[in-house]
Structure 1
Amino acid sequence: MPEPIHTPEGDVHVFPRYLAGLPGHADPSFEPVAHWPHYHLDEGECQLVIASPDHRIKIGWFGDDYDIWQISAAKDAVSAATWTARINQNTPPELVHGLTSALAAEYDPESETFLKSSSYRWTDGVQPLLDAGWERQPLARGLVNIVSPDNLAGATIDIVNSDPTADAVTLWAGPPGWGTRAEFVFSARTPKHLIAATAAEFVNPAPVVREARNFPRRLAQLATLAPVPQVPAARSGATTGRRSAGADGIPRPASVPASPAGRRR
């Protein structure tokens, strides 16, 4: 019989952050682009689109889907995407914050740096992982794999496929499974510095806050959880249940995402 998992009560700090899953608190992934136009959609699976003022960058939020963030950039508002990033429902939004922060900081109406890479070396996209001592494994079937010291996170890079729309880099964390494996999937033309900004959040040593009572049991077996010191002031903005939008229009994630059968139509 497996050992029972004893978790603290209340809020906990979770480390490493890539094992934190979704929070029950406000979603920080959209904070860097909160000043961009928001478009709330009543029909279809996409519930919210946040776009740069010229609509070259689009961040779609699919609150009850599997890939709940879908991010793209194009040379103009109506052109096909130059690159895309899909991020699934197990991904801590603090990691997504790394990508949206980089986009918000880099965006300028006259700039195209968020469309193009200044380097063609695949290592530049995952350099933060290599700098942190993550292990590069031997090339296998055209794929390079880089794995964290605890073997619970990594990157897979396709260095053979020449299709510019193909999935080229996957950053992942957590054990395999629909409810536990977090994934970022970047297409081939994604600028390396934007992938690196995301990868840097995987090795950010700062823990993140989660509600102990809603923390997934399987992740609790793998992550380090420590109680957050109690403060007198009541915490506001916490939500439970399915992902929803708050009064400010920023999505609020549930600790346990809805299954595909329960998503909005």
Structure 2
Amino acid sequence: MTARPDPRREIDGDVYVSPRHLASSTYTGDPALAPLLNLDWDLRHDEDSNVFVSAPDQGVRLGYLPEGPDDGLWRINAYADPFGPPAWGVCFNDTTPTEFVTALTTALATAYQQGPGSYLARPQAGTDEHDPLLAIVPLLKQGWDFDRPRPDVFAIRAPDHLAVMEYTAGNLDAEAELTTRTARWHLWAGTSIDRPLWYATASTNTPVALITALTQSVADPAPLLRWHQETASYHKDIAQLTPIHPPAPTLPTPLDVRQAAASRRPAALPAASVPRWSTTSQPTSPAPRR
């Protein structure tokens, strides 16, 4: 008996990936850079094609590092003192869906326009605007559930258990938060925390508004558009891929049929008239009647 072909392997062209946390990167940084460049932030690059974007007052700096020392493709830091250590830092690895990064940079652009009181706003429990719990509300609304994977970690897990937002309690090393995955916030997708499909981290003092913008994008039920050939194999195996087919031709209505028939009836046209179906023909002598 001949085995039936796997329909996944026959998919080609553009596809919708659902749920969106199982999509991969679009492998272009332009959409996520645009909100900041639209504010006339300075853009530079090195000989390795790494890109560096900085705010006019040097209060925020972004690195897009395809040739960086590790898989931290996106690194965003904010500074209360341009010459001091970062006040907070966010990192996205190289397979994080670009839409998630764009959601955060869009919120960052808004916060920057509002001033340091916004883009340096520290989370504070029990407040109306800066309570860390606000960041998980978008996930809860989409049916994510609480979990406690480790004694010091509170987590909220996607309905398919293939994405997790973790919050680590207690004191953390400030430098480790900026350079490793041991950060206050840790968002990742896949079946293993050690080998995630993608991950994002945010340090202790990252403004709640930025993290909320990220979780809103992750929780959005709308699928993400991808080119099938650029969807990594391990995403294909667990994600739902919906091919995008061209629209089917619409069947003619009875009115369409009547109008088409009427247009084909002989008309009392001058002898040298051009037939309606050929707008480029030259006038010709009338043909003999049949």
TM-score normalised by structure 1 residue count: 0.77
Partner of residue 190, structure 1: 206
CA distance, structure 2, for counterparts of residue 128 and residue 211 of structure 1: 27
- Greater than 4 Å deviation, 4+ residue runs: 24-27, 162-165, 177-180
Match of 2:42 among 37, 40, 43: 37
Partner of residue 50, structure 2: 47
Residue 141 (structure 1) aligned with residue 151 (structure 2): yes
CA distance change for structure 1 residues 124 and 104 in 2, over 3 Å: closer, same or farther?
Answer: same
Identity of aligned residues (%): 27
Amino acid at match of 1:202: V
8 Å contact 1:163–1:188 — kept in the other structure?
Answer: no
CA distance, structure 1, for counterparts of residue 171 and residue 27 of structure 2: 39
5+ residue gaps, structure 2: 126-130, 178-182, 248-290
Residue 107 (structure 1) aligned with residue 117 (structure 2): no
Partner of residue 252, structure 1: none
Cα displacement (A) at 1:110: 4.0
Aligned residues: 228
RMSD: 2.5
Residue 98 (structure 1) aligned with residue 103 (structure 2): yes
Amino acid at match of 1:9: D
CA distance change for structure 1 residues 178 and 212 in 2, over 3 Å: closer, same or farther?
Answer: farther
Partner of residue 16, structure 1: 19
Rg (Cα) greater in structure = 2
Residue 173 (structure 1) aligned with residue 183 (structure 2): no
Deviations 1:106-132 (A, max 9, x none): 213743211113532432222211222
CA distance, structure 1, for counterparts of residue 219 and residue 139 of structure 2: 7
Amino acid at match of 2:19: P
* Mean CA deviation greater in 193-202 or 29-38: 29-38
8 Å contact 1:90–1:179 — kept in the other structure?
Answer: no
Deviations 1:180-229 (A, max 9, x none): 52111111111122111111111112222211123112111211111224
Amino acid at match of 2:36: V
Cα displacement (A) at 1:10: 0.7
CA distance change for structure 1 residues 179 and 25 in 2, over 3 Å: closer, same or farther?
Answer: farther
CA distance, structure 2, for counterparts of residue 8 and residue 137 of structure 1: 36
Deviations 1:2-52 (A, max 9, x none): x84435211111111211112256742222122221011226xx8111112
- Within-5 A mapping of 1:1-265: 4=6, 5-23=8-26, 27-35=30-38, 36-42=41-47, 47-65=50-68, 66-108=71-113, 110-117=115-122, 119-120=124-125, 121-138=131-148, 140-161=150-171, 163-164=173-174, 166=177, 167-176=183-192, 181-230=197-246
CA distance change for structure 1 residues 7 and 56 in 2, over 3 Å: closer, same or farther?
Answer: farther
CA distance change for structure 1 residues 107 and 229 in 2, over 3 Å: closer, same or farther?
Answer: farther
Deviations 1:77-130 (A, max 9, x none): 322110001111110110111110000112137432111135324322222112
TM-score normalised by structure 2 residue count: 0.71
8 Å contact 2:25–2:98 — kept in the other structure?
Answer: yes
Amino acid at match of 2:243: P
CA distance, structure 1, for counterparts of residue 29 and residue 174 of structure 2: 35
Report the 3-state secondary structure (helix = DSSP H, G, I; strand = E; otherwise coil) of the residue aligned with 1:108. Answer: helix
CA distance, structure 1, for counterparts of residue 217 and residue 170 of structure 2: 27
Report the 3-state secondary structure (helix = DSSP H, G, I; strand = E; otherwise coil) of the residue aligned with 2:119. Answer: coil
Relative to its length, the structure with more helix (as a share) is 2
Report the 3-state secondary structure (helix = DSSP H, G, I; strand = E; otherwise coil) of the residue aligned with 1:18. Answer: helix
CA distance, structure 1, for counterparts of residue 10 and residue 77 of structure 2: 38
* Mean CA deviation greater in 150-159 or 160-169: 160-169
Partner of residue 240, structure 1: none
